[in-house]
Chains A and B, each alone.
With several copies, the nearest count.
Chain A
């Protein structure tokens, strides 16, 4: 397939459809509305379901229902709308339902603005909803990756029976870049896919089995039973931590004087600054967590080269992932943070300046 120039919001929608998503429920919000509009146009063409829900809350609960049928289902929103889904997400995680949730982040808190930001890292990775649960969280940094992650997200969701979030931002949603799609699943493949969940999901009792009774549920009124359930969830999360760490190494070497850590959109800008400094003979490495949960703690620790005197974390927020980096660094080298907020995206020049100052220290 040739590359197509496409908006991130549309590319991820297209990729989701190609991966077998035939159910999508959402509520409009800037800067993700092209995603819902793309689905509105395209779902009827693939005999899929698009419903504009009455609210983000209704949307996530429609997802709960459809995911309870083992079908590939997705919702999307942007920061304030994602906050409204917190109860629903906790339910979905508790009931172990596979689904994909996209957050095209914007500036906050509150109504904030509609420009790109990374202020929802904590919410996505630490559980903005109540109780002990985890989302698998993928953080794209280009339109191509955004699209690829749609496919990955559905596979991960099915594999672990766990909700997966793609944590993008307004820039990735609104920008166009060339994108190449993976081959689309055939109608037959799509029709068959849910069967991997047949043993637990809602489905017609075709052979009239008297014992056919599946419960989609997160309630266990007996604390000892709930304890067991939560412990099982923990085991699953441990498994995910073992298998699903994904990160990019950029210019890592034993010469690195500084190690940068950045994710998503922010990482692009940091790379740019690193390139500039490289031209000036400075060695700076970058670890970019691709999955921000599970988080590459050990991998970051290992990336601290012998000459590294500082880890520098750059985010489009007031400092969130930096906490995880501090845990990873475990006091080996100091961890510094710098960020921009409110929907303002830092420039390569600004990052370069920060790094230069740090090099001089």
Chain B
């Protein structure tokens, strides 16, 4: 099976990291993965996006034209990428920054005021972890444990508090995803 995902948002929202953590965890779970960011001056001030592919087979092309999953953290990302979601695919979006939402009915939509929830949790920076949680909750693409291990080994020494916030955000995201 192959899952193709695009994560998109404003420059500072950490969308590249969403893709990276998903790819990294999938890799640890034995999958083939690829991660391809948009790059260059288009990023400046504007929007950033990343294509992530997770597959049991070798990955032919890391370019995702028709995503199975789109994570959109702002409205321009919905406007640009939502039309390309495969019928039956999933759109996860942040209502705090997507006033207009998406009109498609042939896809599953999950939305939450993610920016607000992140602030609630205590740090706007955990927005991307929240999104990861939603993906896990909705799709079981990766296991919570894998990513929790990853984060722990990476942040425990440096910043145990932030680690806690991050894990909290993921868990909260999982809830949203499952609901």
Say whether A associates with B: yes
- Contact A175-B35, Cβ < 8 Å, known A5-B24, A31-B40: yes
The number of residue pairs between A and B whose CB atoms lie closer than 8 Å in the complex comes to: 66
Q: How far is the CA of A177 from the CA of B32 in the complex (A)?
A: 8
The reply to whether A5 and B60 form a contact with Cβ atoms under 8 Å apart is no
Is the C-beta of B41 less than 8 angstroms from some C-beta in chain A?
yes
Known: A31-B40, A221-B41, A347-B65. A176 touches B60 (CB 8 A): no
For B37, the chain A residues whose CB sits under 8 A away are 174-175
Q: Which of B33, B57, B61 is the one whose CB lies under 8 Å from A348?
A: B61
Q: B40 touching A348 by the CB < 8 A rule? A: no
Chain A residue nearest to B42 in the complex (CB): A221
Q: Point out the residue from B41, B60, B62, B63 that lies within 8 Å of A271, measured CB to CB.
A: B60
CA of A175 to CA of B23, assembled, Å: 11
Q: Look across to chain A and name the residue whose beta carbon is closest to the beta carbon of B41.
A: A221
Q: Mark B45-89, 1 if CB is under 8 A from A, else 0.
A: 000000000000111111101000000000000000000000000
Indicate the member of B36, B41, B61 with the most A CB atoms within 10 Å.
B61
User: What is the chain B residue whose CB lies nearest that of A345?
Assistant: B63
Number of interface residues of A (CB under 8 A): 25
Q: Which residues of A contact B65 (CB under 8 A)?
A: 347, 349
Complex contact A175–B62 (CB within 8 A): yes
Distance in angstroms between the alpha carbons of A331 and B173 in the assembled complex:
61
A175-B34, A176-B20, A178-B33 as given contacts; A272 in contact with B61, CB under 8 Å: yes
- Name the residue of chain B whose CB is nearest to the CB of A175: B36
- Chain A residues within 8 Å of B24, by CB: 5
A273 neighbours in B (Cβ, 8 Å): 60
When distances are taken between beta carbons in the complex, the residues of chain A under 8 Å from B151 are none
Closest to A350 in B: B65
Majority secondary structure of chain A interface residues (helix, strand, loop or mixed): mixed
Q: Is A168 an interface residue (CB 8 A)?
A: no
CB-nearest residue of chain B to A3? B27
Residue A12 at the B interface, CB < 8 A? no
Whether B60 contacts A30 by the Cβ 8 Å rule is no
A5 touches B40 (CB 8 A): no
Smallest distance from the beta carbon of A265 to chain B beta carbons, Å? 8
Q: B93 → chain A, closest Cβ, in Å?
A: 24
Known: A31-B40, A176-B20, A178-B27. A171 touches B33 (CB 8 A): no
B60: chain A residues at CB < 8 Å are: 268-269, 271-273, 275, 348
Residue of B nearest to A173 (CB): B39
Question: Across the interface, which residues of A come within 8 angstroms of B36, CB to CB?
Answer: 171, 174-176
Q: Which chain A residues border B33 with CB–CB below 8 Å?
A: 5, 176-178
Q: With A114-B40, A221-B42 known to touch, is A176 a contact of B61 (CB < 8 Å)?
A: no
Contact of A5 among B35, B59, B61, B63 (CB under 8 A): B35
Residues of B within 8 A of A178 (CB): 27, 32-33
Q: Give A1-32 as 1s and 0s: 1 = Cβ < 8 Å from B's Cβ atoms.
A: 00101000000000000000000000000110
* A269 and B61 contact, Cβ closer than 8 Å, known pairs A5-B20, A177-B33: yes
Minimum CB distance partner of B39 in chain A: A174
Determine if A177 and B63 form an interchain contact, defined as CB atoms under 8 angstroms apart. no
What A residues does B57 contact at CB under 8 A? 275
Q: Which residue of B lies closest to A143 (CB)?
A: B34
Q: Is the CB of A30 within 8 A of B20?
A: no
On whether the beta carbons of A30 and B62 are closer than 8 Å, the reply is no
Query: B39–A177 contact, CB under 8 A?
Result: no
Q: Which A residues are within 8 Å of any B CB, using their own CB?
A: 3, 5, 30-31, 113-115, 170-171, 174-178, 221, 268-269, 271-273, 275, 345, 347-349
Q: 9 tightest A-B contacts by CB?
A: A272-B60, A176-B35, A175-B36, A114-B40, A269-B61, A178-B27, A5-B24, A268-B60, A175-B62
With A171-B62, A348-B61 already in contact, 8 other A-B pairs whose C-beta atoms are closer than 8 Å: A3-B27, A114-B39, A170-B39, A174-B36, A175-B37, A177-B35, A177-B59, A178-B33
